[in-house]
Amino acid sequence: MRGATHAKWAACAVAVALAATACGGGGSDGGGGESGIVSSSWGDPQNPLEPANTNEVQGGKVLDMIFRGLKRYDPKTGAAVNMVAEKIDTTDSQNFTVTLKDGWKFSNDEPVTAQSFVDAWNYGADVRNKQNNSPFFSDIVGYENLHPASGEPKTKTMSGLVVKDAKTFTVALKSKFSTWPETLGYQAFSPLPKAFFTDHAGWLSKPIGNGPYTVDSYTKGTAMNLRKWDGYTGEDKAQNGGVDLRVYTDNNTAYTDLISGNLDLVDDIPAQQLKNVANDLGDRYINQPALIIQTLTFPLYDPQWGKEGMEKVRRGISMAINRDEITKQIFRDTRTPAKDWTSPALGEDGGFNATLCGDACVFNPTEAKKLIQEAGGLPGGKMTLTSNVDTGSHRDWMDAVCNSVNNALGEGPVCTVNPVGTFADFRNQQSAFKLTGPFRSGWQADYPLIQNFLEPLYYTGASSNYGKFSNPEFDKLVDQANQESDTAKATATFQDAEKILAEQMPAIPLWYQNGSAGHSERISDVALNQFSVPVYNAIKVS
C-alpha cells in the first residue's frame, strides 16, 4: 500500500514535469502550442529580409506571413483585394489618393499610418539602400531624384508621395497607368514600422510586420519560427498556432523528412521524386499552375537571327518542339505545354488565352521543316541552346528540345546544347548580349497582370528584354493598354499586342511552370497561391 502511494506520487511528478517542459517548448501563445505548429521546408533567402529587397520565393514566403500591404492577391483568384487600403481613388489614372482602414497596427503596437507606407516606399526607392526592387517605385514622380542613374541622390523623399493625414496619402505617377493600384499587392509595397529605420540591424535579425504572424526566433541559415499573432485584426487570421520554417540544403532531404513524418509541408517536390509522389502522398500532392513561364528567347540583336524573314525560321523551330512529350517525360506533368506568352494562373479574365500562339505552338515536324527550309534554313546551318544547368532539369529538357529539332529537320545534329555551370554566369552572358543562339528565359510574374508578362520582356528597351525585340506596333499597343481605364479593354489591347509576338516569335513559349507541394496527414487546407507559395495562414492542424 505504502509502495503504491510512492509510485503514484512519482508518476504525478513525472507527468507534471513533462507537461512543464512541453509548455516551455511550445511557444508563448496560449492557443497553439507545439501541437498546432506547422513545420515547413525553407531555403535560405538570397538577400537580407527587407520588403523592397526580396525578389525570390523563399524570402517572399516570410514576407507573406508577416506583412499585409494596401492590397493582397486573393490566393485563389489572383484578384487584388483591399487589405490595409480602404480605397484607392483616381480620376485620371495618374494621380491616386490612398485612404487606409482603421485599426491596423504592427505587432509592436505601432499603428499603420500613411507615413508607414510613404517612408517604406522612399526607403525602397533610395539608391543608397541598394534595394533590388527599387524599379517598382520608378513610376512615381520624383523617383529619379532618389534613384539617379549615377551620382548621389539629393533628397530622401519622392515628391510624388504626399502624406495628407494619418490615414491618407496621395501618389502622383509620371504617366497614366490604369492598373497601377493592382500592382500594390506586391510585397515591395509593404509598410514599415519606425523600428525598421531606428534599429535596422535589430529589425533584420527579428523582423516586425503587420501580418497574421510574428517572428518568434530567427537563426539565419537554419530556421525561422513564426507564431500566430493574437493582436492581428485582419480578416485572414492564422488558422494554426504558427509555422516553423526549416532550411533544407537539398529538397530531396526535405522530401525524405516529409515521408518519414518529420516535416509537414514541402513546397518544392524534387524532380527525381516525381515518379514516386503519387504513391507516397496520394491526394496530399498538390500540382497547380503558377505565374511562371519558361521561354526560349532569340538573340534578335544578332543580325543572323534578327534579319527580315527570320520569323519563319523562329516559328518553324517552335513547331519542331514536342512540348507534350517533354513535359510528360521529363517534368512528369509539373509543366504544362505553353499556348501563349502569359500563364493560366492569370485566368481567362486576366488575359490568359490558350489560342493565341495557335499552330506555332503545336508540334508539327513536317510543317516545321518546310517553314525553316523556305526561309533559308538555320543561320549557318546550326543552332545552340544556352541555359544554366545547376537547377531545374534544364540540361534534360534542352537535350530533348534539340533532339526534337534534329529529328524534325533530319539534317543530323544541327542543334546542340551549351550548358552554363551557374545561374550567375548565365545571367552575365545573357545581360551582356553575348549569346548567339536561342537561350532560356524564365519569368515569374510579380503580380497577376498580363502587363507584367509582356511589357518588361518585349517592350523596346525594357529591362528584361534580353533578346532586344523591338516592334513599334507592339509598343504602341502596350502604351494604349496602360492608358485604358477599363480593365477588360486594357486586357484585350494587351492581347492584341501579344498577337504580334505570335507572328514575330521573338521568344518561343515552352511551358508554364506549376507549383508542386506535398504535405503530411497532420495538416489540411493546404493550397498554393499564384506565386507557388503555400497559403500558410489557411492551413489547419488536426
Partner 1 sequence: MGRYVIRRLLQMIPVFIGSTFLIFFMVYALGDPVAALFGDKAPDPATAARIRKDLYLDQPLWKQYLHYMGQIFQGDFGTAFNGQPVTELMASAFPVTLRLTLVAIVIEVIVGITLGVISGLRRGRTVDTTVLVLTLVVISVPTFVTGYLLQFLFGVKWGWVRPTVSGEVAFGELILPGIVLALVSLAYVTRLSRTSIAENVKADYVRTAVAKGLPRRRVITRHLLRNSLIPVVTFIGTDIGALMGGAIVTERIFNIHGVGYQLYQGILRNNSPTVVGFVTILVIVFLLANLLVDLLYAVLDPRIRYA
Site for partner 1 in 211-250 (CB under 8 A): 219-223, 246-250
> Residue 267 Cβ, how far from partner 1 at the closest point, in Å?
16
Q: What would the grid cell of residue 422 be?
A: 551557374
Choice between 60 and 212, CB closer to partner 1: 60
- Measured between alpha carbons, how far is 210 from 204 in angstroms, rounded to an integer? 15
Does 531 bind partner 1 (CB under 8 A)? Our answer is no
Site string for partner 1, 317-356 (x = CB under 8 A): ----------------------------------------
3-state SS, residue 294:
strand
- Measured between alpha carbons, how far is 323 from 239 in angstroms, rounded to an integer? 40
Q: In which residue are the cell numbers 513524418 written?
A: 261
Part of the chain binding partner 1 (CB under 8 A), chosen from 78-86, 128-136, 341-349, 489-497: 128-136
Question: Could you say which of 21, 46, 175, 276 contacts partner 1 (CB under 8 A)?
Answer: 46
Which residues make Cβ contacts (< 8 Å) with residue 234, sequence separation at least 6? 68, 83, 104, 211, 212
Choice between 359 and 425, CB closer to partner 1: 425
Question: Could you say which of 10, 19, 20, 56 contacts partner 1 (CB under 8 A)?
Answer: 56
Question: Could you say which of 127, 375, 492, 527 contacts partner 1 (CB under 8 A)?
Answer: 127
Site for partner 1 in 350-409 (CB under 8 A): 390
Choice between 264 and 484, CB closer to partner 1: 264
Tell me, what amino acid is at 314? R
Q: In which residue are the cell numbers 537563426 written?
A: 219
- Measured between alpha carbons, how far is 394 from 335 in angstroms, rounded to an integer? 13
The count of residues interacting with partner 1 (CB under 8 A) is: 54
Q: Strand ranges (DSSP E) for 30-90? A: 37-42, 71-73, 80-82, 85-90
Residue 178 main-chain phi, psi, to 5 deg:
-65, -35
Does 256 bind partner 1 (CB under 8 A)? Our answer is yes
Choice between 328 and 427, CB closer to partner 1: 427
- Measured between alpha carbons, how far is 474 from 494 in angstroms, rounded to an integer? 9
Where helices occur in 189-302 by DSSP H, the ranges are 194-198, 200-205, 251-259, 277-281
> Residue 287 Cβ, how far from partner 1 at the closest point, in Å?
22
Does 443 bind partner 1 (CB under 8 A)? Our answer is yes
Question: Could you say which of 40, 55, 122, 493 contacts partner 1 (CB under 8 A)?
Answer: 55
- Measured between alpha carbons, how far is 119 from 222 in angstroms, rounded to an integer? 31
Question: Could you say which of 29, 33, 34, 48 contacts partner 1 (CB under 8 A)?
Answer: 48
- Measured between alpha carbons, how far is 53 from 171 in angstroms, rounded to an integer? 22
Question: Could you say which of 115, 132, 170, 288 contacts partner 1 (CB under 8 A)?
Answer: 132
Question: Could you say which of 35, 108, 366, 422 contacts partner 1 (CB under 8 A)?
Answer: 422
- Measured between alpha carbons, how far is 414 from 418 in angstroms, rounded to an integer? 13
- Measured between alpha carbons, how far is 121 from 479 in angstroms, rounded to an integer? 25
Closest CA to 341 of 323, 361, 371, 326: 361
Question: Could you say which of 26, 32, 45, 506 contacts partner 1 (CB under 8 A)?
Answer: 45
Part of the chain binding partner 1 (CB under 8 A), chosen from 94-102, 158-166, 297-305, 461-469: 461-469
Does 463 bind partner 1 (CB under 8 A)? Our answer is yes
Choice between 116 and 444, CB closer to partner 1: 444
Does 44 bind partner 1 (CB under 8 A)? Our answer is yes
Q: In which residue are the cell numbers 507559395 written?
A: 533
Site for partner 1 in 176-205 (CB under 8 A): 204
Question: Could you say which of 29, 47, 270, 395 contacts partner 1 (CB under 8 A)?
Answer: 47
Q: What would the grid cell of residue 155 be?
A: 533628397
Choice between 135 and 377, CB closer to partner 1: 135
Does 150 bind partner 1 (CB under 8 A)? Our answer is yes
Task: Report whether 444 contacts 292 (CB < 8 A).
Answer: yes
DSSP string, 103-116: T-B-TTS-B--HHH
Tell me the C-alpha to C-alpha distance, in Å, between residue 535 and each of 61, 74, 262, 526. Answer: 9, 10, 20, 7
Choice between 147 and 314, CB closer to partner 1: 147
Element (H, E) at 7: helix 2-25
Question: Could you say which of 31, 202, 381, 421 contacts partner 1 (CB under 8 A)?
Answer: 421
What residues make contact with partner 1 under the rule CB under 8 A? 44-48, 55-56, 127-128, 130-132, 134-135, 147-150, 204, 219-223, 246-250, 252-254, 256-257, 259-260, 262, 390, 421-425, 427-428, 431, 441-444, 456, 463-464, 466
